[in-house]
Chain A
Amino acid sequence: MSHQKVVITGLGVVSPFGIGHHIFWESLQNGVSAARKIDTFDASQMPTQFWASVPASDDTLNEHLVQRKTGKLLTRSGKMAMIAAAEAIAQSGIDFSALQPERGAISVGAGGIGLNDPDVAAIGFDHGGWLASNNIPRDNEGAFWAAMVAHTHPLLSVKAIPNSIAAHLSMLYQIQGASTTITTACTSSSQAIGEAFHKIKYGLADAVLAGGADSMTNPSSLLSFSLLGVLSKNNAEYAAASRPFDRDRDGFLLGEGAAFFVLESLEHCRRRGAQPLAEISGFGCTSDAFRITDEPEDARGSINAMRQALREAQLNPEQIHYINAHGTSTRMNDKTETLAIKKVFGEQAYRTPVSSNKSMFGHLVAGAGAIEMAASILTLLHQVAPPTINLNNPDPECDLDYIPHSARQLNIKNIMSNSFGFGGQNSCLVVNAMM
């Protein structure tokens, strides 16, 4: 069987700028920072006191759900995923229930939804405090667990399973083929899109609803990332804290959100008279096999992922017109990613514009690859590359053209989008404008 061309026919976004892809793109091309001071709990004793949360309460998100009843079964990231997926489906106009059952599939990048959910944290953090406030000796742990049995919500486990998003999407849209959930930290959703692309390319499905979501803007997640030392502590100038490739960068801005896409074979898209937005032509995926959070200095894993993606897309570095970088604003990532780009692109690296969306909306962790794919598709459609904001003092080790401060009009046919994650996973996608 000949390989299928794979196109995207719908996209949907819930971002730290708000709900929908219009506000998302408007903000990106205007170089807006979505960072805000934390006001959902007293963060005054936290090393980091800001994040880029989605400006919508859980109740507001529930109001946007197609089936409001599912709100109680979804974590915050699940709600955002459902809203983004609904936008993608509407734009695409696809009816998955009209496909042969096994020809429609789902591919989702999701985070450690359960452990980081505030519902769980509220219980877990209460142990000692609960005993003390009830005048129960600390060694009477049984009393605490008895209270847990009485007060823990019985639906906790079905909310917490990582495949919850995929399951709800399958039920709502009657998608009856393979359901895949990928949990590889910051590469999760990039990989989910890549796997969806391969599924269609190699004829295993006609259409795949693919994307990802994450929400770590809660106290326990903020705490865990703070203690790991990966978040910026620039509380005084929080809107300028995320500064990828800048000499003074000190960590990332924690974001949250979701992005989803309808991927289809070009054939299927044409058969139903749909309009393709962009094509996906390359996917590279590697593991560093090195350390949990350190990247190898020679950037071999990232380099191999980028080379794989280029090879599959049958493109030379000169044919990549813009790179949507992983660009986290950590000391290590930006230096290593720059090195990887130079190794893969050679002299061409200095002529290829690169920018980091994370300078504006932060790091969506498991949702990062998906939301940056949304930005890449919009970049192709508008022929405008979003900037890297806050890049005031370039780092001598980061010496590429990062599109500082403001967006740039470019002739862009092919984009490379990078995602690298804790655990040493590397993922790279190549997306192309429709000709």
Chain B
Amino acid sequence: MISKQDIERKLITIIAKSLQIPEKTVQMNSRLLIDLEAESIDILDIRFAAEQEFGIKFDTEEIRKMLLQAAQENQLSEKDIPQFFTVERFYDYIVRKIEQHNA
């Protein structure tokens, strides 16, 4: 089974490759849409590459709800989602999906 360190390393590689930026620029607390300046098509590309890499299928609605919840916990709303879309939250989601898949 893939280790969490491997997931983190591979996810960072995927993001860096898609955005054509050095891997060291991609930190776990980097916000994809703000700090890394990803646009909507980049997210599609990253998501596809991650799905292929980890052999799982992502649910856009699940991700949206996860980020909305994080926003609401900080008394913010849907429009503030980009602030909470960090590499770490994406990583957490992937780990959870892999665990569900293997359960």
Contact = CB atoms under 8 A, between A and B. Distances in A.
Contact of A69 (B19, B48, B51): B19
Interface in A148-188: 150-151, 153-155, 158
24 contacts: A68-B20, A69-B18, A69-B19, A69-B20, A69-B42, A71-B20, A72-B18, A72-B45, A73-B41, A150-B51, A150-B57, A151-B52, A153-B45, A153-B48, A154-B41, A154-B44, A154-B45, A154-B47, A154-B48, A155-B41, A155-B44, A155-B45, A155-B48, A158-B41
Given A72-B18, A155-B48, 11 more contacts: A68-B20, A69-B19, A73-B41, A150-B51, A150-B57, A151-B52, A154-B41, A154-B44, A154-B47, A154-B48, A155-B44
Nearest to A70: B20
Interface string A112-152: 00000000000000000000000000000000000000110
A155 B47 CA distance: 11
A150 B55 CA distance: 10
A73 B47 CA distance: 15
Interface residues of A, number: 11
A69 to B, nearest CB: 4
Nearest to A69: B20
- Which 6 A-B residue pairings sit nearest by Cβ, starting from the closest? A154-B44, A69-B20, A68-B20, A154-B48, A155-B41, A153-B48
A150 B56 CA distance: 10
Contacts of A158: 41
A40 B66 CA distance: 45
Contacts of A69: 18-20, 42
Interface residues of B, number: 12
B35 to A, nearest CB: 15
Contacts of B42: 69
A151 B44 CA distance: 13
Contacts of A72: 18, 45
Interface in B27-58: 41-42, 44-45, 47-48, 51-52, 57
Contacts, number: 24
B70 to A, nearest CB: 24
A357 B85 CA distance: 54
A179 to B, nearest CB: 19
Nearest to B51: A150
Contacts of A68: 20
A433 B45 CA distance: 47
Nearest to B19: A69
A155 B18 CA distance: 12
Nearest to A150: B57
A158 B48 CA distance: 15
Nearest to A71: B20
Nearest to A149: B57
* Most chain B CB neighbours (cut-off 10 Å) among A68, A69, A150: A69
A226 to B, nearest CB: 33
Interface in A72-117: 72-73
Interface string B52-93: 100001000000000000000000000000000000000000
A119 to B, nearest CB: 12
A402 to B, nearest CB: 46
Interface in A42-73: 68-69, 71-73
B51 to A, nearest CB: 8
A392 to B, nearest CB: 49
Contacts of B47: 154
Contacts of A154: 41, 44-45, 47-48
B37 to A, nearest CB: 9
A153 B44 CA distance: 9
Nearest to A67: B20
